[in-house]
Structure 1
Amino acid sequence: MKSKFFKIAFIIFNALLFVCLVFLVKSEFQNVESKKEASQETQSKAPSNAPSEVEEVDILSLLNSEHSDLFAESSLQASFKEGSLASSKVSKDSKVLGNFDDITNLNGNLFVASGWLFLEKLETDYIVFVDKDNVVLGAGVFGINREGLSEALGIKNVDNNGWVGYLKIESNEAKVYALSKLRDKDEYIEVGKFDYSRKE
């Protein structure tokens, strides 16, 4: 009789434990769902153009972090300035060989651009990106390896004539010009143009 009583008590105890477990799981699930809803509401209230962490990154700091050797060899830290370039300082040279390969969105309004160039008898310090009104959009380093470039151009020792840089584009469409900042001169030569259009 005693044994039977203990069996019944044990079964009831297990049933109560099961009910408690179900209640706890259900309660926890409701808490998680509530947190998700609260998070979604917060995100929906945030402005759609709120800057992300990537957008806040300083372009020079990013270049220095990604290409420290080339950055150190340039005068970017000392001479690069945002704002506008005087049109008298920007020129075109028909002897320039080069290509503005691509612009790729990284996050928000921050983009990475790449290309290559060859300037006969002139030395490139670094790259500057401007729009059609010569407003500075960003900067890049020169000296990126482009294996096979010497063979393709038939010119010796130009396999390291690639460039890469970062820029910010606020509009949905823009004409972006890559300029070579000449070493030891306050002069710029246009080396490529890219018509950017934001894809929906």
Structure 2
Amino acid sequence: MESGKSPGAMRNIAAALSDYRKTAYHHYGNRPSSLFRFFYYSALRVNTFWLMENDLSEPLPEIPMDPCYQVVKPSLEELARIRTGMDLPREFYYDRILNLKTCYLAFKDDELAYIHWVLTGGDHSRFLILPADAVELNYNTTLRKFRGNRLMAKMLCHICHDLEAGGYRKVFGVVHEANPPSISAAENAGFRKIKKIRALGPFNRKVRV
């Protein structure tokens, strides 16, 4: 294992703190207690995460997208144009925060609804050391008005099928144990729990997968 404390980790922390109020309200709801929860989970608590794996050599589930949704894999230039004039949570800016290069977007009736980033071995990962034939899915969010329609599970299925076609062997994700909806979405998309990872606030040791 290797330490997760790195320049990339520091940039991620700085991004979270630079607009902490928006981040807290987006993830925990638009109420004052969300600020406490954000700081507690981010800095004070020993957090436990599930390392989850999807073996793309095995049959993948099929959860079709609703006809009103469109999935795109934009270039960074296209992503920048899409973001123009929008007030979006930080998950939509990981090309700037960590120099990530690949993401998937979902639109409902041409309105932006969801993002999920793909990390390869050359990208900064907080938790994982990736081999060349595997990727990590991380830094995702569903915008609030589009929640409650299993969009994450449907997107995970779509992305995993696309990654399989691209020649990847495995897909990994790291999900907080206190996030049952995301764990359920990942399991419905074919992921399985393989290991617990613990972190003190933003600090942890990396796991080679």
Q: TM-score, normalised by structure 1?
A: 0.23
- Indicate the structure (1 or 2) with the bigger Cα radius of gyration: 1
Ranked by relative contact order (alpha carbons within 8 Å, sequence separation 6 or more), the top structure is 2
